Amino acid sequence: MRYISQYNLNTRALELFITGCCGKCTGCHNHELKSYDIGTKITDEEIERIALKTTSNIVDNVMIMGGEPLDRPTEELMVLLNRLDQTGLPIWLFTRYEITDVPEKIREVCAFIKTGEYIEELRTKGHTYFGIELATSNQKILKKGTNY
């Protein structure tokens, strides 16, 4: 599993883009992340470096995006998620899948999960959940303990 990271000032989030996606979303906004061969390889040492980044006083959230995180083996993703869960920061997972397709053990550690694939014909403006503007009207963000 590989990733690319950045900091988002608006959401005060460390964003981890898990590279690789087998989806076929027309108009994908992260098409450059579809390859499974780009980014930094996630090793145990790299996970510790990621966790260290969360100790900054400017990081309030960790957002896992893609590519498509759920197109990776669940156990690989869980190693990362379990370590991030130890930071105490809310973990956000962005996926094209529906909540019923997200494995239970992943749902247990994520505070928020954005669901629904990008469908160009449903593109919209002002479709906002928890301060995050979503690209298409079929997408939503679910909050642990409330919606799932």
> Positive or negative, the Cα torsion across 66, 72, 78, 80?
negative
When pLDDT is averaged across residues 21-46 and rounded to a whole number, the result is 86
pLDDT in tens, 50-84: 999 999 899 999 999 999 999 999 999 999 999 99
d(CA 24, CA 74): 21
Q: Under the phi-then-psi rule, with left for phi > 0, alpha for psi from -120 to 50, and beta for the rest, what region is 133?
A: beta
**Are 94 and 114 a contacting pair, CB within 8 Å?**
yes
CB 32 within 8 Å of CB 71? no
